[in-house]
Amino acid sequence: MQSRSGAPTLEAVAKRAGVSRATVSRVVNGSPKVTPDVLASVRQAIEELGYVPNRAARSLASRRTQAIALVVPEDTAKVFDEPYFAQIVQGVATHLATTDYALSLLISSAGSTEKTRRYLLGGNVDGAVVVSHHKDDPLLEGVAGTLPLVFGGRPFEPVPPHTHYVDADNVGGARAAVEHLVKLGRRRIATIAGPADMTAGQDRLRGWEEALVAAGLQADLAERGDFSPASGAKAMRALLATGAPIDGVFAANDQMALGAYAVLAEHDLRIPEDVAIVGFDDDRAASTALPPLTSVAQPSSEMGAEMARLLIQLIDGKGSVPEATVMPTELHVRASSAAQLKLSA
């Protein structure tokens, strides 16, 4: 009885309630122009029959799909390893659960961009949230401008007009992290930066620099990594190899910070006594590390929810939607950063 073949239709409800299909449709779609008693009887019929509107039919007739796509690139090993992405997905999905939009998850591998484009352009969704698109990504050619889009993370310059995105305050977060180290008395603060081809990497590097300049300190100790633990270790090694008396490190993410942990241990440098460290993302790994890692937390799942919310606003065309939404970060102080011991050297 519940099977697809036997599912009750709008017509069945209409018959049972003694009204026309149009009226039932109005009730289902919450039209205000329905007499209370009619509304009641229709609702009852719906209830009794366990009627559920057929999405395909509705979509076909209304030319709206009531679905949005979430597009993530397939560097998925990388992608889903980052709790950040998983949380974005979670935020989007959870928000959508409160609406009647369905979520279609698209993994776009390098080879399937054409397929993804067709999907997006084929009228399968009313809009899309695009997470971590690459520089010069061909994926969105033709899509932007045709389909409402919201990006996760600031896109690369030049940002096309009317590009909507949600991002964390990477610059501010990085600045706060470094200011924290400065207040602790650290003076030679290095950074393990993120990749140059990701705006998050660029912005966190900038925050580090701004804070040092503002404090009248030198901003010359920087090495780039690719957000992986191994790259963090490599960068730390390079920094130590310069021979500079480093007493503080700001890593652009926690994974690289943890990679640095191992290298510092090899060099018999204690955390935080000799070198204080601050990471970014507030990974789960940050709190279980020894010592627990101070980190800049970004509200990933809230960001996902916000992207979904904005996209729906865009789709509904109600009011104006801000093009840039920057969410605040929060410094979580743990044992990896502490005031410097005044042991002199």
Partner DNA sequence: TTGTATGCGTTATCAC
Partner DNA sequence: GTGATAACGCATACAA
Helical segments of the chain, H only: 10-17, 21-28, 36-49, 55-62, 76-81, 83-97, 113-121, 170-183, 199-214, 229-241, 254-266, 284-288, 300-316
Residue whose CB is less far from a copy of itself, 57 or 214? 57
261/266 Cα distance (integer angstroms): 9
Going by C-alpha positions, the residue among 249, 233, 244, 241 that lies closest to residue 186 is: 249
Per CB under 8 A, does 89 bind a copy of itself?
A: yes
One character per residue 96-135, x = contact with a copy of itself (rule: CB under 8 A): -x----xxxxxxxx--x--x--xx-xxxx-----------
CA neighbours closer than 13 Å in the CB half-sphere of residue 292: 10
142 interface partner picked from a copy of itself, DNA, none, CB below 5 to 8 A per type: a copy of itself
Is residue 125 a contact partner of residue 147, using CB atoms and an 8 Å limit?
Answer: yes
309/152 Cα distance (integer angstroms): 13
**Residue whose pair of structure tokens reads 């039209």 in the numeric block:** 31
Please pick, from the candidates 113, 132, 255, 313, the single residue that binds a copy of itself as defined by CB under 8 A: 255
45/88 Cα distance (integer angstroms): 39
Q: Using CB under 8 A, which residues numbered 154 to 183 contact a copy of itself?
A: none
CB of 328 vs a copy of itself, minimal distance in Å: 20
Per CB under 8 A, does 214 bind a copy of itself?
A: no
CB of 229 vs a copy of itself, minimal distance in Å: 5
CB of 99 vs a copy of itself, minimal distance in Å: 11
3-state secondary structure 233-302: HHHHHHHHHCCCCCCEEEECCHHHHHHHHHHHHHCCCCCCCCCEEEEEECCHHHHHCCCCCEEEECCHHH
- The neighbouring-strand residues paired with 123 are none
Going by C-alpha positions, the residue among 282, 268, 271 that lies closest to residue 249 is: 271
CB of 29 vs DNA, minimal distance in Å: 5
260 interface partner picked from a copy of itself, DNA, none, CB below 5 to 8 A per type: none
CB of 318 vs DNA, minimal distance in Å: 16
Please pick, from the candidates 10, 13, 26, 65, the single residue that binds a copy of itself as defined by CB under 8 A: 65
Residue whose CB is less far from a copy of itself, 56 or 241? 56
- Cα–Cα distance list, 195 to 64, 133, 189, 215, 306 (Å): 39, 14, 19, 25, 26
Binding stretches for DNA (CB under 7 A)? 7, 9-11, 18-23, 25-26, 28-29, 33-35, 37-39, 51-54, 57-58, 60-63
What tokens were used for 104? 């279609």
One character per residue 20-59, x = contact with a copy of itself (rule: CB under 8 A): --------------------------------xxxxxx-x
CB of 54 vs a copy of itself, minimal distance in Å: 6
CB neighbours of residue 341 within 10 Å: 11
Per CB under 8 A, does 328 bind a copy of itself?
A: no
Residues that bind a copy of itself (CB under 8 A): 2-5, 7, 52-57, 59-60, 63, 65, 67, 70, 74, 76, 79-81, 83, 85-87, 89-90, 93-94, 97, 102-109, 112, 115, 118-119, 121-124, 142, 146, 229, 255, 258-259, 261-262, 265, 284-285, 287-290, 301
